[in-house]
């Protein structure tokens, strides 16, 4: 087996505000597009034909992989579900193959295990993981004797496992055109959208007598569906990447000032320098041509992109990610993830995700702890959502700005191309393309020395 298909055509509406200007699968985690983790793992396993089926942002995906000869990007011009996106790849697939979702990050060893399990029996096989939270959040399944016994759509409490990836016979292409685009395997009273889910085809085939084997993933995998999933995955992957360092690795021209205090190992790209008085509290990965200078304090397991400047006593919290061409300066604090070309200046604090090309005004802060110590209620597409704690962060879209002294309360989301004005105390989500500002009423009265008894 040398062929894999990665499905990348989903609109990513639940990931708002980060799938407005990009393909969902191109959202970075640990400074790498989500889908690149899958491509790298498959390449490492010897797959020489990797077919990506993308949607409206296919050109972006194609541009990113233009130097990868094993990758071919197709366009699904009218996506109506994963089953039909997979059907777009039929002419590119001439053998049994793996199917992955472009928004899911899976450990390379688990993909190897899935492939090897399939090759033993040549039965359709699913890589699954235990559902740790709420069954109703997933298209899930139940297992018995190493096989999937039932596939259930967002079941209230019956599903025990969720899907990560599949190894399928090429004959699955004969079944895909008969996908009914209405997920009928649900609890009574549930409602389903009109969409051609791949799991629906597999459930139909099970009913027709085609078994679906199950392989239990040995490692955590990350299905990035909502904004806080980005932070959760970033946290875990940064820790994994940085923990792999066992010694300092300095590329050509990289340097560490003798006064810097390093309490771990660093990997520095070309011409990157750690300057006077810098403190690194654990392992660090930094790209090319970075400046980490003037007393910056960096937590452990931090990842930094290329041509970024961290300086003037700023603080980067553990397991955070800083994109490329960013500036974090003058006592600014970051806990979370910022994308490329984000500027954080002057006594500000951020906990969450900031989209690219965003500039935050001086003293912009966001809350990370509620006064009532409860978890922030999140809503996605109008539905109340339960989250893993990272939903208490703040999520700022791409091409945004804030004014001086803006305050963003825990859990708020701000859409792309929006501005939060000076002095605003933001307690609710802000739509795309919106300016929100505070109107101030001024009262003028006479005043002078006579008020003090003169």
Domain shared by 160 and 180, yes or no: yes
The two three-digit tokens of residue 383, written as one number: 């539905």
The two three-digit tokens of residue 353, written as one number: 């995700």
Of 207, 224, 241, the domain-final residue: 224
Which residues lie closer than 8 Å to 341 by C-beta, 6 or more apart?
A: 323, 324, 325, 326, 356, 357, 358
CB 60 within 8 A of CB 27: no
The pLDDT value given to residue 314: 97
The pLDDT value given to residue 373: 65
Query: Which CB contacts under 8 angstroms, 24+ apart, belong to 429-436?
Result: 429/379, 432/17, 432/20, 432/397
pLDDT one digit per residue (tens) for the chain, 454 residues: 999 999 999 999 999 999 999 999 999 999 999 999 999 999 999 999 999 999 999 999 999 999 999 999 999 998 999 999 999 999 999 999 999 999 999 999 999 999 999 999 999 999 999 998 777 788 999 999 999 999 999 888 889 999 999 999 999 999 999 999 998 888 888 888 899 999 999 999 999 999 999 999 999 999 999 999 999 999 999 999 999 999 999 999 999 999 999 999 999 999 999 999 999 999 999 999 999 999 999 999 999 999 999 999 999 999 999 999 999 999 999 999 999 999 998 889 999 999 999 999 999 998 766 666 667 777 888 777 777 778 789 999 999 999 999 999 999 999 999 999 999 999 999 999 999 999 989 999 999 999 898 8
CB 316 within 8 A of CB 331: no
Residue-wise over 417-453: b if at least 16 C-beta within 10 A, else e?
bbbbbbebebeebbebeeeeeeeeeeeeeeeeeeeee
3-class secondary structure for the chain? Answer: CCEEEEEECCCCHHHCCCCCCCCHHHCEECCEEHHHHHHHHHHHCCCCEEEEEECCCHHHHHHHCCCCCCEEEEECCCCCCHHHHHHCCHHHCCCCEEEEECCEECCHHHHHHHHHHHHHHCCCEEEEEECCCCHHHCEEEEEECCEEEEEEECCCCCCCEEEEEEEECCCHHHHHHHCCCECCCCCCCCCCCECCCHHHHHHHHHHCCCCCEEEECCCCCEECCCHHHHHHHHHHHHHHHHHCCCCCEECCCCEECCCCEECCCEEECCCCEECCCCEECCCEEECCCCEECCCCEECCCEEECCCCEECCCCEECCCCEECCCCEECCCCEEEEEECCCEEECCCCEEEEEECCCEEECCCCEECCCCCCCCCCCEEECCEEECCCCHHHCEEECCCCEECCCCEECCCCEECCCCEECCCCEECCCECCCCEECCCCCCCCCCCCHHHHCC
Distance in angstroms (rounded) separating the CA atoms of residues 196 and 447: 72
Domain shared by 354 and 257, yes or no: yes
Domain shared by 10 and 157, yes or no: yes
Residue 240 maps to which CATH number?
2.160.10.10
Q: Identify whether 121 is part of a domain.
A: yes
| Total domains in the fold of the chain | 2
Note down the domain range covering 319. Answer: 230-436
Domain shared by 133 and 247, yes or no: no
Distance in angstroms (rounded) separating the CA atoms of residues 100 and 134: 22
Distance in angstroms (rounded) separating the CA atoms of residues 168 and 154: 23
393: left (phi over 0), alpha (psi -120 to 50) or beta: beta
Q: Identify whether 449 is part of a domain.
A: no
356 exposure class (CB count in 10 Å sphere: 0-12, 13-18, 19+) = buried
Q: Is the peptide bond before 17 cis (omega within 30 degrees of 0)?
A: yes
State residue 80 phi and psi, 5-degree precision: -135, 25
Of 179, 194, 224, the domain-final residue: 224
Domain shared by 111 and 217, yes or no: yes
Of 163, 195, 224, the domain-final residue: 224
Domain shared by 179 and 297, yes or no: no
Domain shared by 196 and 292, yes or no: no
Residue 26 maps to which CATH number?
3.90.550.10
Domain shared by 431 and 283, yes or no: yes
Report how far apart the first and last C-alpha atoms of the chain are (Å, whole number): 94
Q: Identify whether 338 is part of a domain.
A: yes
Q: Identify whether 127 is part of a domain.
A: yes
Distance in angstroms (rounded) separating the CA atoms of residues 420 and 402: 5
Q: Identify whether 445 is part of a domain.
A: no
Q: Identify whether 441 is part of a domain.
A: no
Domain shared by 210 and 254, yes or no: no
Domain shared by 220 and 245, yes or no: no
Q: Identify whether 448 is part of a domain.
A: no
Q: Identify whether 452 is part of a domain.
A: no
Domain shared by 40 and 173, yes or no: yes
Domain shared by 215 and 87, yes or no: yes
């Amino acid at each position: 087996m040398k062929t894999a298909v990665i499905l990348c055509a989903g609109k990513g509406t639940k990931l708002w505000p980060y799938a407005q200007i990009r393909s969902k699968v191109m959202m970075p985690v640990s400074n790498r597009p989500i889908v690149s983790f899958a491509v790298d793992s498959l390449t490492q396993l010897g797959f020489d034909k990797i077919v990506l089926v993308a949607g409206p942002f296919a050109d972006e995906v194609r541009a990113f992989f233009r130097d990868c000869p094993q990758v071919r990007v197709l366009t699904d011009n009218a996506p109506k579900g994963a089953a039909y996106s997979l059907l777009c790849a039929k002419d590119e697939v001439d053998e049994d193959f793996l199917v992955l979702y472009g928004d899911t990050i899976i450990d390379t060893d688990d993909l190897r295990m899935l492939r090897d399990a399939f090759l033993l029996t040549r039965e359709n096989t699913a890589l699954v993981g235990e559902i740790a939270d709420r069954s109703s959040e997933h298209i899930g399944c139940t297992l018995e004797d190493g096989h999937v016994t039932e596939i259930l759509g967002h079941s209230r409490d019956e599903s025990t496992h969720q899907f990560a990836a599949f190894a399928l016979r090429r004959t699955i292409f004969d079944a895909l055109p008969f996908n009914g685009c209405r997920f009928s395997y649900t609890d009574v009273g549930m409602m389903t959208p009109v969409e051609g889910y791949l799991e629906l085809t597999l459930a139909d085939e099970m009913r027709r007598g085609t078994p679906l084997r199950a392989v239990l993933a040995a490692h955590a995998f990350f299905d990035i569906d909502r904004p806080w999933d980005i932070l959760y995955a970033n946290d875990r992957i940064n820790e994994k990447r940085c923990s792999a360092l066992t010694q300092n690795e300095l590329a050509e021209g990289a340097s560490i000032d003798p006064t810097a205090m390093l309490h771990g190992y660093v990997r520095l790209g070309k011409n990157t320098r750690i300057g006077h008085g810098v403190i690194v509290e654990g392992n660090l990965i930094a790209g090319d041509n970075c400046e980490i200078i003037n007393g910056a304090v960096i937590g452990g397991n931090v990842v930094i992109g290329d041509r970024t400047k961290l300086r003037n006593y700023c603080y980067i919290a553990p397991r955070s990610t800083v994109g490329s061409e960013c500036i974090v300066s003058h006592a600014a604090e970051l806990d979370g993830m910022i994308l490329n070309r984000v500027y954080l200046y002057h006594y500000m604090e951020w906990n969450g995700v900031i989209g690219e090309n965003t500039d935050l005004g001086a003293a912009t802060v966001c809350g990370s702890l509620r006064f009532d110590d409860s978890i922030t209620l999140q809503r996605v597409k109008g539905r109340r959502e339960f989250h893993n704690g990272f939903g208490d962060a703040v999520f700022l879209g791409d091409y945004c700005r804030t004014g001086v002294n803006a305050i963003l309360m825990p859990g708020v989301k701000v859409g792309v191309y929006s501005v939060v004005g000076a002095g605003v105390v933001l307690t609710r989500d802000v739509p795309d393309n919106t300016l929100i500002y505070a109107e101030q009423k001024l009262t003028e009265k006479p005043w002078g020395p006579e008020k003090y008894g003169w």
